[in-house]
């Protein structure tokens, strides 16, 4: 009897007719030290009545629902509104609150790309990231390779992202912490003078706001 027969006759799923990666789910295997601390903290906070399980679930649901388009809307507004841009660079948290985006209590520092300076964001310690603006960080942002190499050889790493910066540009790499998050304000692409806010928003990608690439006007570039 073949596996196909086995499946159709007995409803037994075999690997031959059930073809995909059979990597065990992430929650199989021993609990890591970080997971144990997280579980202990959660149970303690609930036990003391400081939070309830529903609040934790709602927060997880909110973070899971956030996409980089939220950050892109902030960038597009800064491109269109010089006064908002000034406020954003002065106090990112307060400026985002104007748009109904509450990042408190973590301060947001917005760093502007110019014709002289290119900014990149990293968290060399772990994975600190402006999640309330961009959603969950990509896997490469959390990798040891990115966290170490972007500090040592940023131009080489950017080339691997397909970003070839003008050699005359100075590069600043900003190291996030648990107390401070960074967002890159990219330069507005050329030939976008007549673009609406929605058209500008579409040009701003997650990676532009981390600083590993540049926004492109796909119409003209
Ligand atoms: Fe971190």
Q: How far apart are CA 141 and CA 14, in angstroms?
A: 36
Query: How many angstroms does the Cα of residue 141 sit away from the middle of ligand 1?
Result: 10
Residue-wise pLDDT for 192-219, tens only, equals 999 999 999 999 999 999 999 999 987 5
Query: How many angstroms does the Cα of residue 65 sit away from the middle of ligand 1?
Result: 21
Query: How many angstroms does the Cα of residue 221 sit away from the middle of ligand 1?
Result: 35
Mean pLDDT of 184-190: 97
pLDDT recorded at residue 7:
46
Q: How far apart are CA 134 and CA 38, in angstroms?
A: 23
Tokens read off for 216: 């492109």
For the chain, the farthest-separated pair of C-alpha atoms sits apart, in whole angstroms, at 74
Q: Is the pLDDT of residue 65 over 70?
A: yes
Q: Is the pLDDT of residue 18 over 70?
A: no
pLDDT tier at 8 (50, 70, 90 boundaries)? very low
User: Which residues, by Cβ under 5 Å, contact ligand 1, an ion?
Assistant: 123, 125-126, 128
Residues designated catalytic: 123, 126-128
pLDDT tier at 4 (50, 70, 90 boundaries)? very low
Q: Is the pLDDT of residue 10 over 70?
A: no
Tokens read off for 6: 């086995």
What domains appear along the chain, each with residue ranges and CATH number? 67-210 (3.90.330.10)
Better pLDDT: 8 or 194: 194
pLDDT tier at 110 (50, 70, 90 boundaries)? very high
Query: How many angstroms does the Cα of residue 187 sit away from the middle of ligand 1?
Result: 26
Query: How many angstroms does the Cα of residue 177 sit away from the middle of ligand 1?
Result: 5
Residue-wise pLDDT for 29-39, tens only, equals 788 888 899 99
Q: Is the pLDDT of residue 90 over 90?
A: yes
* R_g over Cα of the chain: 22
Residue with tokens 């060399």: 124
Average pLDDT value over all residues in the chain: 89
Tokens read off for 178: 């648990």
Q: Are 207 and 216 in contact (CB under 8 A)?
A: no
SS3 of 105-137: CCCEEEEECCCCEEEEEECCCCCCCCHHHHCCC
Mean pLDDT of 69-83: 97
Q: Is the pLDDT of residue 6 over 50?
A: no
């Amino acid at each position: 009897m073949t596996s196909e027969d086995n499946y159709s006759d007995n409803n037994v799923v075999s690997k031959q007719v059930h073809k995909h990666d059979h990597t065990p789910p992430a929650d199989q295997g021993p609990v890591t030290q970080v997971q144990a601390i997280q579980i202990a903290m959660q149970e303690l906070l609930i036990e003391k009545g400081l939070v309830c399980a529903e609040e934790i679930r709602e927060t997880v649901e909110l973070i899971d629902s956030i996409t980089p388009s939220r950050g892109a809307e902030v960038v597009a507004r800064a491109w269109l509104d010089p006064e908002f841009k000034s406020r954003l660079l002065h106090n990112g948290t307060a400026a985002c609150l104007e748009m109904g985006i509450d990042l408190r209590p973590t301060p947001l520092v917005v760093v502007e790309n110019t014709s002289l300076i290119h900014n990149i964001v990293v968290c060399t310690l772990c994975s600190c990231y402006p999640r309330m603006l961009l959603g969950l960080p990509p896997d490469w942002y959390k990798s040891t390779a990115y966290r170490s190499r972007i500090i040592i050889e940023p131009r080489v790493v950017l080339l691997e992202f397909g970003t070839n910066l003008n050699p005359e540009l100075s590069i600043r790499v900003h190291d996030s912490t648990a107390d401070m998050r960074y967002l890159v304000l990219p330069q507005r692409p050329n030939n976008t003078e007549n673009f609406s806010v929605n058209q500008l928003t579409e040009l701003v990608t997650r990676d532009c706001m981390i600083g590993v690439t540049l926004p492109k006007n796909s119409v003209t570039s």
